[in-house]
Amino acid sequence: MKNLIVILVVLSLATGCSQRSQKEIEITGFASVKVDPDVVKVRIESFAQEMAYTDAVAKVNLNTDKIVNTLKSNGFTNLKSVNFQVQKLTDYSRNYADKGHRAVQTITLEFPVDKDVINKIINLLSDKDLTAEYDFRFELTEQRRAEARNSLVKEAVKNATGKMELLAKVGSFKVGKILKVNYKEMELVYDRDKGVAYQVDQIDRPKNAFSGLQISPVEITDDVSVVWEIK
């Protein structure tokens, strides 16, 4: 019975374990952490629809200028234009009837996570004189990613070490120094509901619409393979 238990323990540790040579063994350690986003990325779409191409372009440019001027006058200056397109609209159910043109210009804005700032932008973009659709994405800066990476690698190596110690005990062999540590690109898992979108035609929207909402953390997973010397 004791031998059966030993065999089962060894088999359970065999996942993520491989013997590279007579004097090396490789164990895969896993780790997962949740990190609070530290940057907000706002995507704003200015749009207009007119029968004539030139009218649609002129109208969307005018609307975009209003949006940009409104944001800049309130301290938001790091705006970037990332897309501009004009689509010809056709009603295929009515013998290909011409429905004009829809012009869209997209601008983006980034800033550190701050619910008060988010509410301010929502209120500014909800102005009845502006035509805009927008959403907020909560992500990690490169610095926060690097910090998470360091934490993950440490935890994954610790996980692999625990497996190795138990395997060495069960297998009655001694482990020497670590020869190599390999890790891949960490995987970020975002909550599906993490992006929050507000439409400009909301009715009776409170001034602090975002205050009561919680920003979901980002789950980061990683696995690290550690190669040990076998004495």
pLDDT surpasses 70 at 133: yes
Q: How high is the pLDDT of residue 90?
A: 87
Domain boundaries, the chain: 14-36+143-190+220-230, 39-139
Cβ contact 41:76 at 8 Å? no
Q: How high is the pLDDT of residue 23?
A: 85
What DSSP line would sit under 132-190, residue for residue? Answer: EEEEEEEE--HHHHHHHHHHHHHHHHHHHHHHHHHHHHHHT--EEEEEEEEE-PPEEE-
* Token code pair at residue 91: 């009603």
User: For residue range 69-119, what is the model confidence (pLDDT) as tens digits?
Assistant: 999 999 999 999 999 999 999 887 777 778 899 999 999 999 999 989 999
pLDDT surpasses 80 at 190: no
User: For residue range 45-58, what is the model confidence (pLDDT) as tens digits?
Assistant: 999 999 999 999 99
Q: How high is the pLDDT of residue 6?
A: 43
- Class at the top of the CATH hierarchy for domain 39-139: alpha beta
Q: How high is the pLDDT of residue 208?
A: 59
User: For residue range 4-28, what is the model confidence (pLDDT) as tens digits?
Assistant: 444 444 445 544 555 555 688 899 9
Cβ contact 119:210 at 8 Å? yes
What is the CB neighbour count within 10 angstroms for residue 25? 22
Cβ contact 194:137 at 8 Å? yes
**pLDDT classification of 129: cutoffs 50, 70, 90:** confident
Pairing between strand 132-139 and 196-199?
antiparallel
Please give the CATH number for the structural domain made up of 14-36+143-190+220-230. Answer: 3.30.110.170
Residue 28 is which amino acid? T
pLDDT surpasses 80 at 120: yes
Interatomic CA distance for residues 77 and 68, integer angstroms? 9
